[in-house]
Amino acid sequence: MNVLLINGSPHGKDGCTQTALDVVAETLNSENIDTKMVHVGHRDIRGCIGCYKCQEMGHCVFDDLVNETAPLFEQADGLVIGSPVYFASANGTLTNFLDRLFFSTPFSKRMKVGASVVSARRAGTTATFDQLNKYFTISEMPIASSRYWNMVHGSSREDVLKDEEGVQCMRILGRNMAFLLRAIAAERSRGGLPIAEEITYTNFIR
């Protein structure tokens, strides 16, 4: 089994978000779950324009990191999204990426395990955490949790490592995610996934 981790921070490998994701990845690896990291925050990624060309082409009309990442997402059993907090929200580059990744990919995301990790100096973490989890809940992806919200605090890698509760949450998240991945795989092999229904589209115009 394998998990794809998305780092939405422009600070890359030395940043706070990466530090938190590293702890999650190391824990998953210790549970014999393979991991792969994709760095998004430093890239120039435009948002979705609602052209619906992806429904014809099977991929986004803008051929960039979104289309490069799509096969990794399809093959992954789980997805961890990490973001810094900007104005009590996720990084805009990351949300551009996620909007297009989730909307343009035709494959089913049902029962892939999702988790969000958020990093901030001080505040805005719970709003960002809630924002990122919505990508999972709209896709029938079970969400792995920790013993507290998946957040770390600090302005540097060193600060984050001093946030002992935050680092502990990342370890617990990794173990809980590994357990959930194995449980879903076992049930899939034994009896299959829950029955899927065709989407019923409605609106509230009378």
The total number of structural domains in the chain stands at 1
pTM of the full structure: 0.95
**Per-residue model confidence (pLDDT) at position 203:** 87
% of the chain exceeding 70 in pLDDT: 100
The answer to which of 42-46, 102-106, 180-184, 190-194 has the lowest mean pLDDT is: 190-194
In a domain, 197, yes or no: no
CATH of residue 183's domain is 3.40.50.360
Residue 160, in any domain of the structure: yes
Q: Does residue 205 belong to any structural domain of this protein?
A: no
Q: Is the pLDDT of residue 15 over 70?
A: yes
Does position 205 have pLDDT exceeding 90, yes or no? Answer: no
Residues 78 and 3 sit within 8 Å (Cβ to Cβ): yes
**Residue 96: pLDDT band with limits 50, 70, 90:** very high
- Print the SS3 string covering the chain: CEEEEEECCCCHHHCHHHHHHHHHHHHHHHCCCEEEEEECCCCCCCCCCCCCCHHHHCCCCCCCHHHHHHHHHHHCCEEEEEEEEECCEECHHHHHHHHHHHHHCCCCCCCCEEEEEEEECCCCHHHHHHHHHHHHHCCCCCECCCCCCCEEECCCHHHHHHCHHHHHHHHHHHHHHHHHHHHHHHHHHHHCCCCCCCCCCCCCCC
Is 203 a member of any domain?
A: no
Residue 137 covered by a domain: yes
At residue 206, the pLDDT reads 65
Cα Rg of the chain, angstroms: 17
Work out the mean pLDDT of the chain and round it to a whole number.
96
Neighbours of 20 (CB within 10 A): 30
Bridge partners of 96, per DSSP, are none
Q: Is residue 103 part of a domain?
A: yes
Question: Which pLDDT score, from 0 to 100, does residue 92 have?
Answer: 96
pLDDT, position 84: 98
Domain that holds residue 117: 2-191
In a domain, 201, yes or no: no
Tell me whether residue 204 is in a domain: no
